[in-house]
Amino acid sequence: MGHDVELIVGIALGLGLAAAAGFRIFVPLLLVGLAAHSGHIHPADGFAWLATKPAIIMLAVATFLEIIAYHVPWLDNLLDVVATPAAFIAGTVLMASSLFELDPLLRWSLALIAGGGAAGLLHGAAAGTRLVSSATTGGLANPAVATTETAAAFALSAVALLLPLLGALLAIAMAVFLGRKLARGGRSLWRRR
């Protein structure tokens, strides 16, 4: 594979995984660890730790706890306070781990802007969706929202790992969809006041 094609695939892979981190921080990290451990992917230099058994065990436990916590109404909204910067960091790490043979300044700049930005944008939209759900249903619909977000994190991570270009397109489509949904929900909240 040519260097340019490898770079495009790496960017697409990183973008899809980073966007998935916007829904659930640990799901894409766990799936990357499992994929790297099985030899399906090879993370960039400095990210081999993702494939180690201790990292996979830690990520599996963190994934389980995160999924459970997001299914508790109102706790999910409080968790977003910590999860917002954590999603940005996870998106940055996921993007950087997928970029090979780039100058470190370019790698980390791209990782911060594209990876952190994608994760932050999706997480912000998802958090906004949960806030609207909390405000309009008293939190009763939040577990359904959490289940949808968890499914989206797993699906987007899997697609990004198997078909990186499609994963990147899905990430962009999800960002647009959630942004529009959030804008409509926010406008309806303002009209009720």
Cα distance between residue 18 and residue 53, in whole Å: 22
Contact between 167 and 16 (Cβ < 8 Å): yes
> What is the chain's alpha carbon radius of gyration, rounded to the nearest angstrom?
17
Cα distance between residue 156 and residue 153, in whole Å: 5
Model pLDDT for residues 133-157, shown as the tens digit of each residue: 888 998 899 999 999 999 999 999 9
pLDDT at position 44 is 92
In the chain, where the domains are located: 3-188
Contact between 41 and 138 (Cβ < 8 Å): no
Model pLDDT for residues 64-75, shown as the tens digit of each residue: 999 999 999 888
How much is the pTM? 0.89
